[in-house]
Structures are given as structure tokens and as C-alpha cells.
Amino acid sequence: MSQVFSEETHRNMLARIPHCTGREISDWLRTVEEGPALFRFEEKVSWLRHEHDLAYGHAKAIIHEYDLRRAARKLL
């Protein structure tokens, strides 16, 4: 079962990702967008972890942010 982060924890994790990975969140979101068409959250996290050697928490935060932004685009 995956961890559930609070909104504050999610924002803090996103803020640390550029320092830890050397890439901005926008770059990671583009990587996910251009990656394979996976449907399940954990499949996307696993792909990002293994393809880009990311920690589980970082990959999860990136995928969560990607899904949030994608859902917001659909509402517009």
C-alpha cells in the first residue's frame, strides 16, 4: 500500500526535487508526458523510478503532481 502524503508534505517534496535531482519539476512533468502511456499510478511511479533512478518519494510526488495538473487541464 502506498503512503498518502499531506498537501504540505507534497509541496515540500516538490520543492526539494530540483536540488536532489538536478532537474526542475517542469522537466520531470514533460518526461512523464512524453513517457509510456501507463494507466495505473504505481506503474507510472515504478517506470519513473527505474528509468530515471529516482527515489520512491520523489517519483511518487512527480506523478501525483502530473496527475493533479492533468486533471486541472481537463476542467478548463
pTM: 0.88
pLDDT at 5: 72
Residue type, 31: T
The pLDDT value given to residue 4 = 65
Tens-digit pLDDT profile for residues 7-42: 999 999 999 999 999 999 999 999 999 999 999 999
Mean pLDDT for the stretch of residues 39-53: 96
**Predicted local confidence at residue 1, as pLDDT:** 41
Question: What's the pLDDT score for residue 74?
Answer: 80
Q: Specify whether the CB–CB gap between 63 and 74 falls below 8 A.
A: no
What phi, psi does 56 have (nearest 5°)? -55, -45
pLDDT over 60 at 2, yes or no: no
